[in-house]
Amino acid sequence: MPKRVELHCHSIYSDGTLTPAALVERALKSGTELLVLTDHDSVSGAADLFAAGAAAGLAVRLGIELNCAGEGYADRVHILGYGFSPDSPGFRERLEGFRERRTERARRIVEKLRGLGVDIEFEEVRANAHETLGRPHAADALRRKGVVKSRKEAFDRFLAKGKPAYVDSMGPSPAEAIALIKDAGGVACLAHPQTAGGDKELEELRALGLDAVEVLYGAHTPSQVRAYGAWAREKGLLALGGTDFHGPGTGREERLGVEFDDAEWAAVAGRLGCS
Ligand code: AMP
Ligand code: ZN
Ligand code: FE
Ligand code: FE
């Protein structure tokens, strides 16, 4: 029997639209046996996640996703973390620092939008966020105002790299992100590797100490799954996976969970400490 698990999803504590408890409910409905919450730069969903998991009898774990910055890396490299201790010295403070930089970035994005003649205030963007602020909250503000119809349209017209309201990510470098997770006792995984570049970039990232790569990504084609799976095997990286579910209204709301076969799952469960 394949094992259906979700190792990559987002809640209202970052740029998702469901609470952790609602994610737990969805996981049960979709036949997902383990749910790992990987909000961007926040672990504030933990209490809700663990309470809902215990009440529903679903295995849940806390993860994280750190969107990186730096030459060639900005908005291409995202690092997922698993099995870290959120109480490690300085860990929460570092996340708070990343979130402050996101707030600064959001202010700059709003300035650019205003410069383009869009009538929008920073407070309208912030009002859409529970904690971690990101471009999706600017997209949601544009949608509320009727400027765009979807997050996708907001990215395509304004917010994606190369578009007129784009501002570079101010997140950690990949080296910092990987070190932060590993210093807290965790496993560092390259998220959706297809956005990170080609062989050269993957090799550079691996050399920074990656433990894992997201092979079974929801949006990967079968040939991408084979190629990243082969790379993981060749380099001794753990092959992980998830859908990057963000919730209703985000354009990223497919069925929760990806399927591992028994042998693959045994390797993952051992490293992540889940059964
Ligand atoms: P940020 O963290 O502010 O750089 O925003 C990145 C987030 O925006 C990603 O984690 C996705 O959730 C979301 N995103 C990126 N591109 C798109 C898109 N084309 N449509 C919808 N959401 C997107
Ligand atoms: Zn996101
Ligand atoms: Fe990501
Ligand atoms: Fe994600």
Per residue in 102-138, pLDDT (tens digit) is: 999 999 999 999 999 999 999 999 999 999 999 999 9
Q: Measure the CA–CA gap between 237 and 231, rounded to whole angstroms.
A: 8
Using the predicted structure, report yes or no on whether residue 36 has a pLDDT greater than 80: yes
What pLDDT does residue 273 have?
Answer: 81
Higher pLDDT, 72 or 204: 204
- Give the chain's largest Cα–Cα span: 55
CA distances from 122 to 1, 104, 106, 137 (A): 49, 10, 7, 10
pLDDT number for residue 8: 98
- The pLDDT, as a whole number, for residue 275 is 64
**Sign of the Cα pseudo-torsion (82, 84, 85, 90, in order):** negative
For residue 238, the model assigns a pLDDT of 97
Mean per-residue pLDDT for 18-26?
Answer: 98
CA angle (177 as vertex; 84, 75 as ends), nearest 5 = 130
Quote the pLDDT of residue 72: 81
Q: What is the mean pLDDT of residues 190-212?
A: 96
Q: Mean pLDDT across the chain, nearest whole number?
A: 96
pLDDT computed for residue 6 by the predictor:
98
What does the pLDDT average to over 78-86?
98
Mean pLDDT of 254-258: 95
Averaged pLDDT for residues 222-241: 97
pLDDT digits (tens, 9 = 90+) for 136-165: 999 999 999 999 999 999 999 999 999 999
Q: Which atom of ligand 1 is nearest to the CA of 105?
A: 3
Which of 11, 15, 18 gets mutated to test ligand 1 (max ligand atoms within 8 A of its CB)?
15
Beta carbons within 8 Å of 59's beta carbon, 6+ residues apart: 33, 34, 35, 53, 274, 275
What is the per-residue pLDDT for 99?
Answer: 98
Model's pTM, two decimal places?
0.97
**By alpha-carbon position, which residue is closest to atom 14 of ligand 1?**
136
> What average pLDDT score do residues 217-233 get?
95
Whether the per-residue pLDDT at 259 is higher than 80: the answer is yes
Q: Tell me which residues have their CB closer than 6 angstroms to ligand 1.
A: 15, 40, 67, 75, 134-136, 151-152, 155, 169, 246, 251
- What is the band of 2 on the pLDDT scale with cuts at 50, 70, 90? confident
